[in-house]
Amino acid sequence: MMDSKIDFVAEIGRLREEKNAVILAHYYQTGDIQDIADCVGDSLALAQWAANTTADIIVLCGVHFMGETAKILSPQKKVLVPDLAAGCSLADSCPADAFEKFVNANPEYQVISYVNTTAAVKALTDVVVTSTNARLIVDSFPQDVKLIFGPDRNLGNYINSITGRKMLLWDGACHVHEQFSLEKMLELKKKYPEAEVIAHPECKQPILTVADFIGSTAALLKHTEQSLKTTFIVTTESGVIHAMRKRSPHKTFIPAPPNDSTCACNECSFMRLNTIEKLYLCLRDEKPEIEIDPILCERAAKPIRRMLELSHPKT
């Protein structure tokens, strides 16, 4: 039983210093974790920080594939995640053995994989992308190069629509971003006609059609700072609203409603498995740790490093 008198924030601060650890958090973590992290960012920023840190221990407050990506980029470091069960429905929608068959059936195609994949899928990939750099990296291939894009069909369709490509798509999706309903969105737009609808490209196409701005988590956040509008309907995981409110305290952020009003489906249940208490325990005990077979690690590193080379400097 955990001592309820422990000051988690103070203890995490002490342990972080003592162990030369860095705490990296995704925007979909709870506010208390974001507030204590050294860096809070989207998938691309997390990978960039993990590749460049001088810390001995990386605590990745996010989901398993993010911890894996950090370990692949810094294999000599200890990479911890507060809860190893923090998976990802999108990564789960693309098992490596099935993806390998798909890739082998299309040998003339280059393979682009979203970072939301397992290390085994990355090892089958030519270049990894995140939602921040997907367009840039797809555009780096000449038009006549045939491309496979996996696993997110919504992001793939969106990139096809803005680049005019006909990438072959894997049929995967994220359960959080797929659940937003057009009907409820239209009702909300009627209620707040002055609001700007902002959406992550993992959302389904009808939602993207009514969005005023589409972008990665980091792009949405930046947009809310720069836009002249003061009210936003935020159509992505609602954790990012914490950072939006911090950066623009005078603006209003309305989480896009879940499809089913009885659930909190606009929160990623995997991301929310991490808690401040588990963060304290994992720093204290230096577990659970991400471990990857070194050969797999080397194979998966190539397409991630290629992404980092092709990306703009840190966003």
103 binds ligand SF4 (CB under 6 A): no
Note whether 61 and 25 are within 8 A (CB): yes
Element (H or E) spanning 310, and its range?
Answer: helix 294-310
Q: Which does 89 bind (CB under 5 to 8 A by kind): ligand SF4, ligand 13P, none?
A: ligand SF4
Q: Which residues, numbered 38-67, are part of the site for ligand SF4 (CB under 6 A)? A: 63
Q: Which positions from 217 to 256 touch ligand SF4 by CB under 6 A, shown as an x/- string? A: --------------------x-------------------
Indicate the DSSP class of residue 172.
B
69 binds ligand 13P (CB under 6 A): no
81 binds ligand SF4 (CB under 6 A): no
- Contacting ligand 13P (CB under 6 A), which of 69, 89, 116, 235? 116
48 binds ligand 13P (CB under 6 A): no
Note whether 65 and 118 are within 8 A (CB): yes
Choice between 220 and 233, CB closer to ligand 13P: 220
Q: Which of these ranges, 17-25, 73-81, 126-134, 241-249, lies near ligand 13P under the rule CB under 6 A? A: 126-134
Q: Residue 6 pairs with which residues in a beta bridge?
A: none
Rounded distance between C-alpha atoms, residue 52 and residue 32, angstroms: 25
Quote the distance between the C-alpha of residue 3 and its chain's center.
Answer: 33
Rounded to the nearest 10 degrees, the angle between the axes of helix 64-73 and helix 43-52 is 30
170 binds ligand SF4 (CB under 6 A): no
Instruction: Spell out the SS3 assignment of 87-154.
Output: CCHHHHCCCHHHHHHHHHCCCCCEEEEECCCCHHHHCCCCEEECCCCHHHHHHCCCCCCCEEEECEHH
Q: Which residues, numbered 172-191, are part of the site for ligand SF4 (CB under 6 A)? A: 174-176
Q: Which residues, numbered 268-297, are part of the site for ligand SF4 (CB under 6 A)? A: 268, 270-271
Binding site for ligand SF4 (CB under 6 A): 28, 63, 88-90, 116, 174-176, 237, 268, 270-271
